[in-house]
Amino acid sequence: MFMRVVSPGERGTPEATGAESGTLSSLLPGGRLPRGAVVSTGGDLPLLIALAAEAAGDGGAWAAVGLPQLGGLAAADAGLDLACGLAVPEPGRRWPEVLAMVCEAAPVVLLGPVGQVALRTSRRIAARLRRSGTTLLTWQDWPEAQLRLRVTEASWDGLGDGYGLLAGRRTRLMVVGRGAATQLRHAEAWLPGPDGSVRLITEPAATAGGDAVPLRPITAG
Amino acid sequence: MRALVIWALDWPVVAAGADHAEPVAIIARERVMACSKEARRQGVKRGMRVRQASGRCPHLRLLDRDPEAETRAFEPVLRLLEKRIAPHMEVLRPGLIALPSRGPARYFGGEQALVEHITTVLTDAGIESRTGAADTVFAAALAVRAGQVGHLVPAGETAAFLAPYPVGVLGRPRLSQLLPRLGITTLGMFAALPGERVLARFGHDAAAAQRTAGGLEARPFNTSGADVDYSVTEAFEPPEDNLEPVTFIAKALAERLHARLARAGAVCARLQVEVGLATGQRLSRLWRHEGRLSSLAVAERVRWQIAAWAETGQLDAAAAGITNLRLVPEGLSAATGRQSLLFGPRIAPEELEHAAGQLQAMLGHRAVVRQELAGGRGPGERIVDIPYGDARSRPFIEGTWPGQLPAPHPAVVYPTPRPAQVVGADGGAVGVSGRALLTQPPAALSIDGAAPVAVTGWTGPWPVLEDWWIPARARRLARLQVTCADGRAWLLHIQDGRWAVEALYG
C-alpha cells in the first residue's frame, strides 16, 4: 500500500489528511469537520449551509432547528439533500430538548439564532454531542465551539447600476479552533458561487504567529 | 396454523463451547447477550452493560458473539430433529426454531406427546430445551419462555395468552414508545383498538403488528401469486469448489430476489436457501424473513448456512463442487410497507422518522417539517414545508415559470417579507411605473426602520402578475436585486406601492 511520510509539523493539516482541495473542509484543521463538537459560523447562513452540506455528504441525514428562514433552494444547490432533512422551524423555548432529540437521529444538526445560551445548557449539549458523535453547526457564536468560522469580508459580483444579475459572493473566511488548532487560517471562497455551489478561490493560508490569536474576544472590563 | 417453537437454552453459550459451571457471558454491542448459569447465579443478566456485569461477577469471562459459529453448532441439532421429529424446520435464529405442529402432533399422538418426544430427543443429545406452542409463531415464541418449561397455549386461546404482555414485545420501537403514551400498555389493549383506525393513524406496519398482537398471522396470506416462481438462481459452471465465491454471490442474488419481489409487490415470510451439488444432492434450509431482512442480512444468513454445512461435513466442496445457489421465497403476501426500491434509495433514514415522530408528539404535528421543491417564481414559493410524515397534497409539476430567478439562490428566505424603504438620491421614495421601470435609481435601503445603507448595485425590476384569474389571490408585484455597501445582497419586491425584503442572498 502506498503511504506518505508526514512530518510532525504537517500532521493534521489538510495536505496530510487528504481533504479534497477546493472544498471548505480543506480549510479546516484536520481537513474535516469535527464530529461530536460545535462549530459556529458567526451569523452567516450561507456559510452554515455550506458546512452542513459538506458534513452531511451525499444523502446524509440532517436536521435544522430554529431556522424558519432557511432557504431550501440555496441548501439544495449547496448539496444538502432535502429528502433527508428534518426541520423544526419554531422550537420556541424548548429548543434544548428538541436539539437533544434531533442529535440522536441526525449526524449533522443546524441550529438557528437562540439568543443567550446558559453555561449549563451548553455543557449539557456538549456532553450529548460527544455521546452521539453529532456535529452541531450554530448560526450564532457559541461559547464553547470547537471551531469558529467567520466571514470577515464579503462582496457580490454581477450587479451593475440597473443591469446584470447576482453571480456570486466572494468572501474572506477566517477559521480558528481550540486546542491544537489555535492557528488562525484564512482563505477566500465563493459562498455561493455562480452555480450555487461553494468552493475556495485561494488555497488556505495560515497567519504567522498564531499563538497570539485570542481565543475569546477581548472586551474591556 | 398451529406453530411449535423449540428453544435451545443459552445457545450462544453452548455454541461457544463454554461450561455452565464457569461464569461466561456472550457480548454483542457492549451488552450481555447470553450468559452461563454460574454467571446468572452471580447476578449477571441479559441486556446488562459489560461494565456492570463485570462489576457483579469479577471473574466473568467475556466472549464476543459469533453467529456463524452458532449456526454451525446448531446444524447437527437441526439434522437430528429433522430425522426424529419433522422434516420441515424453520430457523428463527440459531437456537430457536419453529415448525408447523399439526402433522407431527397427529403422528406422535397429540401436542403434549410431541413436546415430550422432542424434549427426550434433545436431552439425549445433551441439549437443554424448552418448547412452546400457539396459533402463531410469534405467540409460540413467547409461550416457549413462559413458565418453567414452556407453555402450550390451547388452540383459540392465543389472543388471551398474548393479552397481558407489554407492547414492547412486538419489537417496534416507534409503537412501543407511542402506545404507552396513549395509555395502551398491553397487547390486549392494542388488539382491542379498531383495526382501520390503527391503519389510518400508524400505517401498515402497525396494522400488521396489531394482527400479531391479536393472535393472528401478521400478514394475511395471499395465494394469488403462489403459482408464480419468484426464486432466483445462480448457476456455477464449472462447479465451484471454493466456498468464498458462492457466499460472495449471495448478496447480489438477494438483491435480485428483493427486486423481483418488490416488482410483484410481495414480501415473503420465509426464505429457503438451497445449494445444489455436482453429485446431484441438494441441501436446503428455511430462514424466517417476514420482509424485514435486507439483502445484506440475507447474504449473511446464506454465508452462515454454507459455513455450517461445510463444517458439519454435509457440504464438501472439494469433493463435489457447488453447481448452483438458489433462494426460494415462501409464504408470499402483499407488501404493504414502504417499498424503497420504487422510490430509490433516497429515503429519510429510519432514525430521523423516529425522531420526527417523537418531536411531533411533543410540539404538535405541524411543528416538524421537511422541505420539498415546488413550482413558482419567488424563492419562497419554490419550496414548500410539509409536516413530517404527510404526503404532499399537490404533486410537483416541472413547468416553465417566466420570471423565475436563476441561481445563486438566497440562503435566507423570510417566512413573511420584512417592510423596507428604498430611497433615491434626492431622498424621495423609489417607485415602479406602469411600464415596469423604476421612477429613479435607488440610492439607499432601510429595512425594518433601521439606518439606511447605501446601494452599490441594482437590477430589475421584474414584474410578476400571478393568479390574475382568481381575484382573491391575484397579485401584481415587481422584484429587484440590490447589493449594499455592507456587502449584502437582497431580494426586494414592491406590491401596492410598498417595498418589502423577501430574501437575503448573503
Phi and psi for B159 in degrees, rounded to 5?
A: -60, -45
Question: Across residues A46-52, what is the average pLDDT?
Answer: 92
Report residue A121 as a C-alpha cell.
445548557
The 3-class SS string of B460-484 reads EEEEEEECCCCCCCCEEEEEEEEEE
The CATH code of domain A22-207 reads 3.40.50.300
Q: How close B86 comes to chain A (CA, Å)? A: 45
Say if the Cβ atoms of A74 and B408 lie within 8 Å: yes
Write the residue in A98, A164, A196 that is nearest to B408 by C-beta.
Answer: A196
- Closest-CA distance, A2 to chain B, in angstroms, reads 27
pLDDT tens column, A141-194:
988 888 999 999 888 988 888 888 888 899 999 898 887 667 788 888 888 887
* Of B323, B198, B326, residue with least CA distance to B272: B326
* Chain A 85-114, residues with CB within 8 Å of chain B CB atoms: 85-91, 94, 97-98, 101-102, 104-106
pLDDT score, position B224: 45
- Min mean pLDDT across A47-56, B324-333, B486-495 is at B324-333
The upper half-sphere exposure of residue B438, i.e. CA atoms within 13 Å in the direction of its Cβ, equals 26
In whole angstroms, give the CA distance from residue B218 to residue B224.
18
The answer to whether the Cβ–Cβ distance between B456 and A163 falls below 8 Å is no
Contact between chains at B369 and A163 (C-beta distance less than 8 A)? no
B382: chain A residues, CB-CB within 8 Å: 72-73
CA-derived radius of gyration, chain B: 33
Does A194 reach chain B within 8 Å, measured CB to CB? yes
| Chain centre distance of CA A100 | 19
Q: What gap in Å lies between CA A187 and CA A20, rounded to an integer?
A: 15
Chain A residues in contact with B358 (beta carbon < 8 A): 101
- How many Å is the Cα radius of gyration of chain A? 18
**Residue B481: is its pLDDT beyond 70?**
yes
Rounded to whole angstroms, the Cα distance separating B294 from B50 reads: 29
Please tell me whether residue B426 adopts helix, strand or coil conformation: coil
8 Å CB contact of A104 and B355: yes
The answer to whether residue B78 scores a pLDDT higher than 90 is: no
Chain A residue numbers touching B348 (CB-CB < 8 A)? 61, 83-86
Predicted confidence at residue B335, as pLDDT, reads 60
The answer to whether A45 contacts chain B (CB < 8 Å) is yes
- Whether A216 shows a pLDDT value over 50: the answer reads no
How do residues A109-149 score in pLDDT, each as one tens digit? 999 999 889 889 999 999 999 988 899 999 999 888 889 99
Would you say B306 and B265 are in contact if contact means Cβ atoms under 8 Å apart? no
* Omega before B238 within 30 of 0, i.e. cis: yes
Cis peptide before B408 (omega within 30 of 0): yes
- What are the sequence ranges of the domains in chain A? 22-207
Residue of B nearest to A167 (CA): B408
| A57 in reach of chain B (CB within 8 A) | no
Asked if A77 lies within 8 A of B407 by C-beta distance, the reply is yes
Which residues in chain A touch residue B379, judged by CB atoms under 8 angstroms apart?
A: 71, 73
Q: What is the mean pLDDT of residues B374-380?
A: 81
The type of residue at B353 is: E
Q: Please count the CA atoms within 13 angstroms of the CA of B390 that sit on its side-chain side.
A: 18
CB contact under 8 A, A156 and B505: yes
pLDDT in tens, B164-218: 999 888 888 888 888 988 899 999 999 999 888 888 888 777 888 888 898 887 6
pLDDT at residue number A39: 93
Is the minimum CB–CB distance between A139 and chain B shorter than 8 Å? no
Mutate to test the interface with B, among A80, A81, A82, A86 (most CBs of B within 10 A): A86
Higher pLDDT, B245 or A51: A51
Mean local confidence (pLDDT), B238-251? 82
- Helix intervals (H) in A8-133: 14-17, 45-56, 72-78, 95-105, 119-132
Q: Which residue in chain A is spatially nearest to B363 when comparing CA positions?
A: A91
- Choose the closest CB to A163 out of B347, B362, B459: B459
pLDDT score, position B393? 53
Does position B115 have pLDDT exceeding 60, yes or no? yes
